Each structure stands twice: as C-alpha cells, then as structure tokens.
Amino acid sequence: MTLPPPGTLPERARSLAKSLGVDLPAHEGGDLVVRTPVTGEAIARLKAQSPADVAGAVERAHAAFLAWRLVPAPRRGEVVRAFGERLRAHKAALGEIVTLEAGKIRSEGLGEVQEIIDICDFAVGLSRQLHGLTIASERPGHRMMETWHPLGVVGVITAFNFPAAVWGWNAALAFVCGDSVVWKPSEKALLTALCCHAIWKTTLAAFPDLPQDIGELVIGGAPAGEALADHPRVPLVSATGSTRMGRLVAPRVAARFGRTILELGGNNAAIVAPSADLDLAVRGIAFSAVGTAGQRCTTLRRLIVHASLRDELLARLKSAYASLPIGSPLEAGTLVGPLIDGAAFEAMQAALMASRSQGATVTGGARREFAGFGEAFYAEPAICEWGEAGEVTRHETFAPILHVIPYRDFDEAVAIQNDVPQGLASSIFTRDLAEAERFVSAAGSDCGIANVNIGPSGAEIGGAFGGEKETGGGRESGSDSWKAYMRRATNTINYSGALPLAQGVKFDIG
C-alpha cells in the first residue's frame, strides 16, 4: 500500500474546503498548522484568535441569544432541519475532509457526518417536545408546574478525534433549546471546523429574519479555550478531551458558578464470558480496539477474558490483527489509518515499553513507514498479554493497544472492569442471561455505557452519551440530555383568591 504523491492531499483539502464555502486565505498567516496525518503534510497555517476575539464572539452570540430565545422552538427546529439537509447534500465532501484531517477511513469519515445529520433529525423532533411537568399542589386553588427556558451562550470545546460530530451533538440540541453556541475546536482539526461553520452560516443566511450570530467559531490554542471557560456570559461549557484538560477547564468554570458537560478519558473494557459467541466477539473486539486507529474515547483498551477461553481467543485475535489492512484511509479496503501525529506514536511506544517492564508479553505495535513521508505515523495495533494487570492498564493511551487480562469468576471480572479511574464505556460478550443482567445492574458495570454482545464503541445518537468518575459525568446527544442546555423554573399559580401557605404555616396580618 502506498500514500498519495506529495502535494496531492493539501491541494485536495483546500479545494474541498473552498467548495464548502471556506475562504481559507482569509484565515491564513499564523502559526496554527493544519496538517493531514495521512501523509503528515501541512495544508495551511492559520491565525490564532486572541482572548479579546473570543470575548467579541461571546458578546455577539449573547446579543443573538436575546432574540433567538424568543423564537418559537419549532421554528428553531426548522433551521436545524435545514442544516441537516445541507449536510446531506455535502456529506461526501465533508466526510472526505474528516478523513484528510483526522485520518479516519472513508466510511468512518462519512459516518461522522451522518452523526450530525442524525442528531439534527433528533433535534427537530425535540423542538416540539421541550416539555415540563404539572405538579399537584397541597394548597386548594393552586397549580404547580415546571418549565424549561433557554440558558444562554453555550461554549463548546471539542477534540480532534471527532472533529465534527461532537460539536453537532451539542449545537443541534443547544439551537433548538434556544441557546447560542461559541465553538472552540481542537488545534488539530481546524479545517473540519471551518467547513462545518461555513455550512452552518450558509444555512442560517436563508433565514434573514433570524439572528445570524447564534453560532460562532473561534480558532486558537489554550488561551482561546481559557477565555471561553472564563467568560461570565457563558453559563455552560461542554468540553471534550483528556482528563487532564477537564481538570483545567472544570475549576475555571466552577469558579464563576458556571455549568460544565465534561466528556473526558475512557479506559474501556469488554468481558468475554465462557458462554460467549467467539465469532461475534472477535468481530466486536476488532472494531472496538482498532477502529479509528484506537483514537476513540470509547475504544476498547482492556479485554477481560475467562481463563478457559484465553488461548483460543488470543489466537483468533492475533490472526485477525495480522490480516488488518493498514495504510492510507483514502484507499478502499483500509481498516487502520494513521495516528494523529508523532506525539501519539511516542505515547503508544511509551505505553508498550511500560507494559513490557511490568510483565506483559507484547505483540505488534511497530511503526509502518512509507518512504518520503517521515511525518506520517502509522502503527500496527498491539496486543499486551497479562497474567495480572499492571499499572499501565489503569491509564488511557490514545492508540490501538489492547490489554488482555484473564479472570476466573464473574465477580472478579466486574471488579477488574471497574477498578480504573475512568468510567465511560463497557461491554460483555455472553449468552448467559443472568450474567448479562448482572452486568447492567447496579452491582455490575460502573460506566455510563454498558453493552451486551457488542463492543463498547460505536454509540448511536438516541441514547445519552457520557460516563462516570474521571470521565466527567456529563451527558450529550440523546435521551433527556437536552435538559443540560436549559434552565428549569418551578412555577406556582394561585387562582383561588385566598392565600393559604404550605406546610400549614399561619401568617395572618389582620
């Protein structure tokens, strides 16, 4: 397998961006390098916006919010519906941008755009269902109710590995809830953000009677993110990234009593029980462990296998791994694309070295080099075989490393699964109904996502997405995640003409 000739991909990326409405030259002339991990080549060098620029974007978004919150929710949904339709029209081009900038194989790049389309569909329906409650009052002639109102400016900070979808999860819900959005994307995925923003602005321009600044984009590094987290007109910050990043963002927002939705590290496990369908398990494990080159927050990182199955399952997995096509994600048939950059490859090698020093037997993990492309980092997925899990297995490494850990009884398996600081996604492969039910019970997995007979990766938008412990506790996307983007008011309405007090309190003044 070969990589495209030098210069091909930067030219292609710039052409695609222009076709999607991005005026790239207007953003160039700075130190932020837009790079494709497919070949390691630079696409553009963009100017970073200052904290003052971020403040200006927030102020514009706040002014727009004051009008947008008064627009009926179904009308707001109509705008989101139009955005989803425009994304459908440009799905192929935007999906290719995701592949070029994040290194995802073509089907995953397209799938990421489909996630935004799906959440737009979800949000359109939601726009007619933003419901509260009617609550029984103990006082005669009184009615209590709960209503939900738009919150304000939502700050969205996203990571490189899902450069479009995570913004889409947040923005689609925030928009129908009556909020405005200021988006600060990862410095490693700026081109995708510019393309999404251009499509959004073109969509909104077709509604000239509505405020045009409800969706703002800021380009920058850590100072831009800090300015967004600190701004008093941003009542909610949704931040996706590492646990380290969350530890920086959360206290800044909390210091001004703002809210956060944190989607942080995952150290996800799958249990393979004695009754498991191994054919099914191998397919589920392979996708979850090596899809997106191990760079999903839900990537399978720990495989907890019953001792009686260990040797057979390892043999099957090693055979599957040996057949994985590794190379350019633009080529049909490729299943494992590049790591995002050299730092990711170095982190992978450090984790493998630590695994060896702590007693694991390591298979794979070597670099796949392509002549003439020294800045492209492709790696063979690695399997680390443990007798007893070492300390390195408690830490997330954003790379295709699978730690295989044996267990002897179900309680031990669950204990191993839960004995890490993170709590995002988990799964079990079993045909034992009791085991499956115990796994998803209160005494089972402690993660925000607990699956049966599928891997931990590949969530649908209909469910709430997020995790516990150091994963941050936030929830995005489906179910009732929309409530995080609104403020709740409890109302008591007295239509009786009298003034009885609750709890039997008497306060007669004559």
Name the residues annotated as catalytic. Answer: 263, 297
Q: Give the other-Cβ count within 10 Å of 212's Cβ.
A: 12
Task: Enter the tokens of residue 394.
Answer: 């408690």
- In the block, residue with structure tokens 């589920």: 284
Coil, helix or strand at residue 154: strand
CA 481 to chain centre: 14
* The one-letter amino acid at 319: S
Question: 243, 402, 269, 391: which is closest to 336 by C-alpha?
Answer: 402
- In the block, residue with structure tokens 């009556």: 178
Helices (H), 69-178: 73-89, 91-102, 106-126, 165-176
* Cα 396 to Cα 387: distance, rounded to the nearest angstrom: 20
Whether the Cβ atoms of residue 423 and residue 313 lie closer than 8 Å to each other: no
Question: 166, 161, 159, 195: which is closest to 181 by C-alpha?
Answer: 166
DSSP 26: G
* The one-letter amino acid at 145: M
Whether the Cβ atoms of residue 152 and residue 65 lie closer than 8 Å to each other: yes
Question: 327, 284, 83, 292: which is closest to 196 by C-alpha?
Answer: 83
Angle at CA of residue 19, ends 114 and 205, nearest 5°: 75
* Cα 347 to Cα 399: distance, rounded to the nearest angstrom: 8
Element (H, E) at 104: none
Task: Enter the tokens of residue 236.
Answer: 């909610």
* Cα 223 to Cα 230: distance, rounded to the nearest angstrom: 10
* Cα 171 to Cα 182: distance, rounded to the nearest angstrom: 9
CA-based torsion, 395, 396, 399, 404: positive or negative: positive
Task: Enter the tokens of residue 42.
Answer: 């630079």
3-state secondary structure 274-321: CCCCHHHHHHHHHHHHHHHHHCCCCCEEEEEEECCCHHHHHHHHHHHH
Coil, helix or strand at residue 368: strand
* Cα 360 to Cα 430: distance, rounded to the nearest angstrom: 26
Please report, for residues 46, 239, 326, the alpha-carbon distance to residue 163 in angstroms, rounded to integers and kept in the order given. Answer: 17, 13, 22
Whether the Cβ atoms of residue 505 and residue 499 lie closer than 8 Å to each other: no
